[in-house]
């Protein structure tokens, strides 16, 4: 699943881009598919739009890949809900100020755009309502870049606040890596280490509110989870406070840019702030080299899991293409599809796409002038999102169909 980002040129949104796994998709602003890309390696992809079936399955010869599941997206709403931070803060004070006044609240901070926007809102609310704000950052050793920690430390310094940096138990995490291999799609066991500190915090502070920085338009699962509170325009429910869940992507980018708290990953052309070895990264994201604290140990982990589960794939391909992101059967399908598409590219049957183009598209949101867009009330944003369909990679009806002869030749 993915979030759709506007590609900005000269202050205008030209198209939407999203991606995950081996896929990147381009849509127009009405969510009509323009192009579907499949990565051949970190630097190059192939335009595979003509191989997409109406249900979003990628069919290359006898290879069928659930491309649709990689890039399902919540609808993109090209709008703002605020002109300045104070607009939203005053809105929240009016709606939930009475319930929030003097409360202890905790934010699990990641350094990404959404949690940074939430942090800015909370700091403003703290001044108005006397909130007792605790900010926690969970560092995952071995698979997360040290630059994430450095950025969090810089944010704390810039905002003159304390951010508690909690490292997941190093010895235990190391043993998990040796036992289970790197976290993969469908087995993201690292999540346990991310959420446990917040659970322990809530046990120590029984009355505290947990701040959730999710947005309803991030992904279909977020949309499904947040549909009920969105239908009621509800920011506070139980012990969870969602101050930014109805903000648009343009809102959080605007707030983050104006505060000059943009994580360097965004300037590198990455769509998200994540661990260096996150299984949900799209392959092109690995063109950005993020340091690891112990590359030799990670190589040991990779070789061990390759011998155990992925020996049908050459180790060099397994490591270079980061096929550890997939369960074994899916990794083999992806590997086979790459082999076929490489041959088709050699024969000029598919168009090559460069990763730098995709990275620059993501980067545009952080370096170009933000576009003009309507200003909507949050309930209107919720209504638009809830009434729209999940965005799926449905190929244009004018796309040339691939014949069985084409498929046979593709595999030769």
Instruction: Indicate which CATH number applies to the domain containing 169.
Output: 3.40.50.620
Q: Minimal CA–CA distance to 94: which of 129, 130, 127, 132?
A: 129
Pairing of strands 44-47, 209-211: unpaired
User: For residue 203, how many other CB atoms are within 10 A of its CB?
Assistant: 8
61: in domain: no
pTM equals 0.94
User: In terms of C-beta density within 10 A (0-12 exposed, 13-18 middle, 19 or more buried), how is residue 391 classed?
Assistant: buried
Q: State the pLDDT at residue 96.
A: 97
Q: State the pLDDT at residue 371.
A: 97
Which residue bears the tokens 């951010």?
A: 163
175: in domain: yes
Pairing of strands 352-354, 44-47: antiparallel
Chunk the chain into consecutive blocks of 10 residues (it has 412) and report each block's average pLDDT, rounded to whole numbers: 96 97 97 98 98 96 96 97 96 97 97 98 98 97 96 98 97 97 96 93 93 96 95 94 98 98 98 96 94 96 98 98 98 98 97 98 98 96 95 76 47 49
What are the C-alpha distances in Å from 8 to residues 16, 65, 189, 253, 345? 9, 31, 36, 13, 29
| Cα–Cα dist 263/221, whole Å | 25
H-helix or E-strand containing 91? helix 85-100
Under 8 Å between Cβ of 352 and 45: yes
106: in domain: yes
| Cα–Cα dist 103/66, whole Å | 46
205: in domain: yes
Q: Minimal CA–CA distance to 83: which of 271, 267, 248, 243?
A: 248
| Cα–Cα dist 328/336, whole Å | 12
Under 8 Å between Cβ of 120 and 259: yes
293: in domain: no
What residues make up the domain containing 237?
85-245+252-265
DSSP string, 332-386: HHHHHHHHHHHHHHHTT-S-EEEHHHHHHHHHHHHHSPPPP--B--HHHHHHHHH
CA neighbours within 13 Å on the CB side: how many for 14?
Answer: 11
Which residue bears the tokens 């029984």?
A: 206
Count of domains forming the chain = 1
Q: For 213, which DSSP code? A: -
Q: State the pLDDT at residue 405.
A: 46
| Cα–Cα dist 41/293, whole Å | 24
Q: State the pLDDT at residue 399.
A: 42
| Cα–Cα dist 105/393, whole Å | 40
Q: Minimal CA–CA distance to 46: which of 401, 339, 313?
A: 339
User: In terms of C-beta density within 10 A (0-12 exposed, 13-18 middle, 19 or more buried), how is residue 244 classed?
Assistant: buried
Q: State the pLDDT at residue 289.
A: 87
Under 8 Å between Cβ of 202 and 239: yes
196: in domain: yes
Q: Minimal CA–CA distance to 335: which of 350, 347, 353, 320?
A: 320
| Cα–Cα dist 399/32, whole Å | 13
53: in domain: no
366: in domain: no
| Cα–Cα dist 78/318, whole Å | 39
Name the phi and psi angles at 27, rounded to 5: -125, 155
């Amino acid at each position: 699943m993915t979030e759709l980002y506007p590609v900005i040129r000269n202050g205008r949104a030209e198209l939407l881009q999203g991606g995950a796994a081996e896929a990147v998709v381009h849509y127009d602003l009405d969510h009509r598919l323009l192009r579907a890309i499949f990565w051949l390696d970190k630097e190059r992809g192939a335009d595979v739009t003509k191989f997409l079936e109406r249900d979003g399955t990628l069919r290359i010869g006898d290879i069928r890949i659930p491309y649709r599941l990689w890039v399902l997206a919540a609808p993109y709403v090209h709008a703002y809900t605020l002109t300045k931070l104070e607009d939203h803060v005053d809105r929240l004070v009016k709606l939930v100020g009475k319930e929030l006044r003097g409360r202890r609240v905790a934010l699990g901070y990641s350094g990404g755009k959404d949690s940074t926007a939430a942090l800015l809102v909370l700091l403003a609310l703290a001044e108005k309502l006397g909130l007792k704000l605790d900010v926690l950052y969970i560092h995952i050793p071995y698979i997360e870049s040290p630059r994430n920690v450095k950025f969090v430390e810089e944010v704390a310094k810039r905002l003159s606040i304390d951010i508690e940096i909690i490292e997941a138990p190093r010895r235990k995490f190391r043993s998990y890596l040796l036992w289970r291999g790197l976290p993969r799609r469908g087995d993201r066991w690292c999540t346990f280490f991310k959420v446990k500190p917040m659970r322990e915090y809530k046990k120590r502070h029984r009355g505290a509110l947990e701040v959730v920085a999710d947005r309803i338009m991030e992904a279909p699962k977020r949309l499904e989870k947040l549909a009920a509170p969105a239908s009621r325009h509800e920011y506070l429910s139980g012990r969870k406070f969602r101050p930014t869940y109805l903000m648009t992507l343009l809102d959080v980018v605007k707030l983050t840019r104006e505060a000059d708290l943009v994580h360097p990953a965004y300037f590198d052309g990455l769509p998200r702030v994540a661990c260096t070895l996150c299984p949900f990264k799209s392959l092109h994201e690995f063109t950005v080299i993020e340091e690891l604290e112990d590359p030799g140990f990670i190589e040991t982990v990779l070789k061990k899991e390759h011998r155990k589960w992925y020996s049908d794939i050459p180790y060099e391909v397994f490591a270079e293409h980061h096929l550890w992101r997939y369960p074994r059967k899916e990794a083999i399908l992806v590997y086979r599809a790459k082999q076929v598409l490489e041959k088709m590219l050699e024969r000029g049957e598919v168009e090559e796409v460069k990763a730098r183009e995709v990275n620059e598209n993501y980067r545009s949101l952080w370096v170009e002038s933000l576009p003009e867009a309507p200003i909507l009330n949050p309930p209107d944003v919720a209504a638009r999102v809830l009434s729209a369909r999940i965005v799926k990679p449905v190929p244009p009806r004018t796309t040339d169909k691939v014949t069985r002869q084409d498929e046979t030749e593709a595999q030769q």
